[in-house]
Chains A and B, each alone.
Chain A
Amino acid sequence: NAGVTQTPKFRVLKTGQSMTLLCAQDMNHEYMYWYRQDPGMGLRLIHYSVGEGTTAKGEVPDGYNVSRLKKQNFLLGLESAAPSQTSVYFCASSTAGGLHFGNGTRLTVT
């Protein structure tokens, strides 16, 4: 009963490096989301997708790109990491009844 799986769990990057975070869900949900969590700020929406092949910007999209080539996967990319992107990243998938979250990726950019 995997639900939403995020890889990797931890990552340390140097400023300017790139990386991709992978999210996979096995619930056949149409909707998927990437949030970042920072202390005292709750969760803020980065990008989301309402179906395979579609993506849209959320509240804080700058510096990130996403792709949804397969229904079950939603990738978040950082092309040139900055210290301000140090955060915990959560992926979620959804039906009308609410979001199902992965366990997060803790990213540190030095």
Chain B
Amino acid sequence: AQSVTQLDSQVPVFEEAPVELRCNYSSSVSVYLFWYVQYPNQGLQLLLKYLSGSTLVKGINGFEAEFNKSQTSFHLRKPSVHISDTAEYFCAVSDGSNDYKLSFGAGTTVTVRA
């Protein structure tokens, strides 16, 4: 089974500053990679995904992520955050098998301050 490591459990950031959330996964022949966001007392919402093709993936709300196969990483970035980006972010990986189940990282809590 895949394992996912999110290197930062808490990331405080000022409004309009850039943010990067780091994610590494255990190696596999092929993987599908995802970032989800969870706002307080809600379910998880898909931010973006990498299935194949371009290694730079753009998602909703101005987020983007880059797949780096050699470093087995899938870091999430946003050039300028808003207060509304305060949430918990989860990196997830599927090993490409046909049951599509995901393994999740422990999550990174982003707190945006004015």
Contact = CB atoms under 8 A, between A and B. Distances in A.
Interface stretch (B13-21, B44-52, B66-74): B44-52
Interface residues of B, number: 26
Given A59-B1, A90-B44, A99 B105 contact: no
Contacts, number: 62
Contacts of A56: 99
Interface residues of chain A: helix, strand, loop or mixed (majority): strand
A100 B102 CA distance: 12
Interface string B29-45: 00010101000001111
Contacts of B36: 101
Interface of B: 1, 4, 6, 9, 32, 34, 36, 42-46, 49, 51, 90, 92, 98-107
Interface of A: 4, 31, 33, 35, 40-45, 48, 50, 56, 58-59, 90, 92, 94-104
